[in-house]
């Protein structure tokens, strides 16, 4: 049976996944807890990614080397950069760039040296499946979150976007920084701290990868406001619901 790797960027997301796995067993590797079990009839390994590119790359490498996962799906939150990418929306990545990679003038800005590329694309089929699942969940957002939560966070008709996500080892929390990112990488829809590293590891191993991020902030001067409450009450519920919907539709192979 194909084994699906699920990486959660946030504790609360992982807790929601584990609550749905009836038989998970903990295996500790590299100081990380990997949870091996089943979800919706699929063989699954779930883990917390940890924060930042290096930590997430180590976690992904163990997933692929030690647990031999056949596909890797990554969830978390991100700051919205693209116009119209609002708090409460979901971005399904079609590719990742490290916004803080800069070996110029030796290599073009953002290019990862010796790879000959800046952009690491995700698996198109997996991403399409996740985008479809996200669409279904957001259409029923009220059912997943409750009307009070929608009102509290002023979420009205949340949308699913597909496009570029950029990653770097920095929580982007000023308008000047997010504006600089928009200028450097105009196609970027969202910014976070892990995805590009995991995309690169999966590219190295040739393992299908996809990622879904709920927009928690606009990467501006108010980026930290209500961050923790948003994660508990919105992002972790969306992540669980999107993964559940995706696994239900995906026949175990
Ligand atoms: N409270 C969390 C820490 C979150 S760190 C904990 O204890 O686990 C920030 C996380 O949110 C990272 O996973 C990062 O990828 C994502 N993120 C959300 N908004 C971001 C922004 N504006 N800039 C960079 N990363 C952001």
Domain boundaries, the chain: 76-249
pLDDT of residue 253: 64
Q: What are phi and psi of 95, to 5 degrees?
A: -175, 165
170 CA from centroid of ligand 1 (Å)? 9
Interatomic CA distance for residues 187 and 49, integer angstroms: 25
State how far Cα 49 lies from the chain centre. Answer: 10
Interatomic CA distance for residues 78 and 238, integer angstroms: 13
Q: Which residues are the active-site residues?
A: 13, 217
Identify the residue whose C-alpha is closest to ligand 1 atom 1: 228
pTM of structure: 0.96
pLDDT of residue 223: 73
Helices (H), the chain: 11-20, 53-65, 124-139, 141-145, 147-152, 175-184, 195-205, 227-230, 236-249
Best probe residue, ligand 1, of 48, 51, 54, 180 (max atoms within 8 Å of C-beta) = 51
123 CA from centroid of ligand 1 (Å)? 24
pLDDT of residue 227: 85
95 CA from centroid of ligand 1 (Å)? 19
**Residue 232 corresponds to which tokens in the numbers above?**
């508990």
Topology of domain 76-249 in CATH is: Rossmann fold (3.40.50)
pLDDT of residue 143: 87
pLDDT of residue 154: 83
| Spans in the chain with pLDDT lower than 50 | none
């Amino acid at each position: 049976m194909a084994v699906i790797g699920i990486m959660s960027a946030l504790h609360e997301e992982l807790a929601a996944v584990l609550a749905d796995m009836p038989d998970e067993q903990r295996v500790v590797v590299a100081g990380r807890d990997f949870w091996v079990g089943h979800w919706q009839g699929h063989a699954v390994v779930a883990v917390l990614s940890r924060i930042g590119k290096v930590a997430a790359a180590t976690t992904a490498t163990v997933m692929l080397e030690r647990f031999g996962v056949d596909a890797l799906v990554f969830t978390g939150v991100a700051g919205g950069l693209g116009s119209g990418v609002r708090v409460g929306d979901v971005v399904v990545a079609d590719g990742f760039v490290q916004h803080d990679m800069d070996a110029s003038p030796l290599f073009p800005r953002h290019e990862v040296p010796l790879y000959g590329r800046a952009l690491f694309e995700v698996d198109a089929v997996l991403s399409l499946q996740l985008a479809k699942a996200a669409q279904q969940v957001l259409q029923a957002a009220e059912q997943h979150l409750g009307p009070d939560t929608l009102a509290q966070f002023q979420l009205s008709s949340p949308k699913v976007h597909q496009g570029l996500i950029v990653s770097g080892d920095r929580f982007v929390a000023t308008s000047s920084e997010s504006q600089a990112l928009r200028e450097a990488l105009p196609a970027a829809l969202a910014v976070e701290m892990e995805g590009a590293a995991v995309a690169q590891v999966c590219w190295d191993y040739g393992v299908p990868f996809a990622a879904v991020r709920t927009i928690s902030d606009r990467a501006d001067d108010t980026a930290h406001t209500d961050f923790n409450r948003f994660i508990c009450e919105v992002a972790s519920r969306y992540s669980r619901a999107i993964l559940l919907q995706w696994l239900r539709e995906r026949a175990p192979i």
